[in-house]
Amino acid sequence: MEEDNETPSSSTLKSASKERKYVQKFKTSWLEHPDFKTWLKKSDKGETKAYCKICDCDLVCGMSELLKHKNSAKHTKKMAVISQCGRMSTFLNKNQTHATNVLKMELKMCGFLAKHDLPISLVDDFVSLLRNLFPESKCLDDVHLGKQKATNILRQVTGATYKQEVIDIS
């Protein structure tokens, strides 16, 4: 009977064989890691998940799991496609910058006329003078500034700004 007391029961064997697995939490330092910074972000599904922006999938956190995903066929194929196509934002930023530069140029021309108390009727000749002086300027080619547009810019854009400044001073 003493032998029965010394042998472990089946329930204690099961609990001894079960080991707790450590679940890795997402580390923000991975976002600066050169292998991960272009495609990794924290998942919305919990602190133990990571998200691949390229593959649009959630991943288990852990350095080895992230490296496995990075080297997977699915991920490498999608990365190759993206690197060949380029990003849409690069195309949009160029156009947006050009359009912004054109608007700035129009505003500055109107501001120059107003600052020096020159008549708005000069705006057509002023634009053509600048085009003759700077024929290689692409922004100047896209400036379409006439008397009506200059008047509207001075009244609605700069006029409203200065009106608000006067109100704030009072």
Question: H/E element holding 52?
Answer: strand 49-52
What helix, strand, coil percent values describe the chain, rounded to 5? Answer: 65, 5, 30
- Select from 139, 143, 165, 142 the least CA-distant residue to 153: 143
Question: How confident is the model at residue 95, as a pLDDT?
Answer: 60
Directed axis angle between helix 73-85 and helix 63-70, to 10°? 60
Q: Consecutive sets of 10 residues in the chain, 170 residues long: mean pLDDT of each?
A: 50 59 86 88 90 91 90 89 68 72 92 92 94 92 94 86 74
User: What pTM value is reported for the model?
Assistant: 0.43
Question: How confident is the model at residue 1, as a pLDDT?
Answer: 47
Task: Give every strand in the sheet of 40-42, ordered side by side.
Answer: 40-42, 49-52, 57-60
| Spans of all domains in the chain | 23-85, 94-169
Instruction: Give me the sign of the Cα torsion angle 43, 45, 47, 49.
Output: negative
- Select from 102, 129, 124, 126 the least CA-distant residue to 116: 126
Task: Enumerate the β-bridge partners of residue 42.
Answer: 50
- CA 137 to chain centroid, in Å, comes to 29
